């Protein structure tokens, strides 16, 4: 069995500003809860938006990330700075030359961390990323945990679904060939689950602020007071089970 803690969207800022709680403190508390679990997770996957559009924020974020009690695999989101991310996290993973995707072994799984932030900060995959993924899927001998920042599936929330995930159909066709056991994403700042491309697929709640939900699109989405939380994914040949872990009282 592989046990993976998924943290997402801390939006760390070097000025400490956040509308509702201190995400750096929430991240520390998440690490403490992970360290105290009766079964230690094999790894943490951090699915993007590590900083909040401040290139200097990585100097503030890196010491926090290094406090992780288990191996941590960071990914970029649309609020990250791609050039700054690559420089700050050089040596952390073997990034693809043209984007920030990479693979890493976690227990008996293969993590495929797929960079879904396009150069214009939109969501999706260009030809280079699709070709890279096709090569990875074709070579892997292990079950795959596919992680992205943006959910490739339709969420039902207009602010997330427009303008959409570029080349979602091409990604779906690649996944349907087999090998991918589970898909996890961030970006929504909320917990969502669906079956997509034949896989259990989900987004996780944020370590940073929450976001309001409007299914009609009549209301503008905005930061909302929601308790920080993360997800714990247990994966075995018998199936995949996920648990939401709310941070203990006082974490914010």
Q: Output the six-digit token pair for 172.
A: 């779906």
DSSP 8-class letter at 166: B
Looking at every residue in the chain, the average pLDDT score rounds to: 92
Average pLDDT of the segment spanning 208-225 = 71
Q: Please tell me the pTM assigned to this model.
A: 0.94
Residues 6+ apart with CB under 8 A from 134: 174
Question: Which CA distances in Å does 183 have to 16, 81, 137, 168?
Answer: 31, 24, 14, 13
Average pLDDT of the segment spanning 146-173 = 93
Structural domains in the chain, CATH included, are 2-246 (3.60.21.10)
Residue 251 has pLDDT above 50, yes or no: no
Residues 6+ apart with CB under 8 A from 127: none
Report for 5-19, 50-64, 133-147: range of highest mean pLDDT: 133-147
Please tell me which residue, 163 or 147, carries the higher pLDDT value: 147
Average pLDDT of the segment spanning 104-118 = 98
């Amino acid at each position: 069995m592989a046990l993976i803690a998924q943290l997402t969207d801390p939006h760390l800022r070097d000025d400490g500003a956040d509308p509702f709680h201190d995400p750096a403190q929430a991240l520390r508390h998440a690490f403490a809860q992970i360290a105290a679990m009766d079964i230690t997770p094999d790894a943490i996957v951090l699915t993007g938006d590590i900083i909040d559009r401040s290139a200097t924020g990585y100097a503030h974020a890196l010491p926090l990330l290094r406090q992780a009690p288990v191996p941590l695999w960071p990914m970029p989101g649309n609020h990250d700075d791609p050039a700054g991310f690559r420089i700050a996290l050089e040596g952390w993973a073997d990034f693809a030359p043209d984007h920030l995707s990479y693979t890493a072994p976690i227990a008996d799984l293969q993590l495929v961390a797929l960079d879904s932030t396009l150069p214009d900060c939109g969501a999706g995959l260009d030809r280079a990323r699709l070709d890279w993924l096709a090569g990875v899927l074709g070579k892997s001998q292990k079950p795959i945990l596919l992680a992205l920042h943006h959910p490739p599936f339709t969420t039902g929330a207009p602010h997330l679904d427009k303008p959409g995930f570029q080349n979602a159909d091409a990604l779906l066709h690649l996944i349907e060939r087999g090998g991918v056991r589970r898909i996890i994403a961030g970006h929504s700042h909320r917990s969502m689950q669906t079956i997509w491309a034949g896989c259990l697929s989900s987004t996780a709640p944020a370590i940073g602020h929450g976001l309001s939900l409007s299914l009609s699109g009549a209301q503008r989405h905005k930061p909302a007071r929601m308790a920080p939380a993360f997800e714990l994914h247990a994966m075995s040949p018998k199936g995949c089970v996920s648990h939401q872990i709310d941070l203990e009282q006082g974490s914010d």
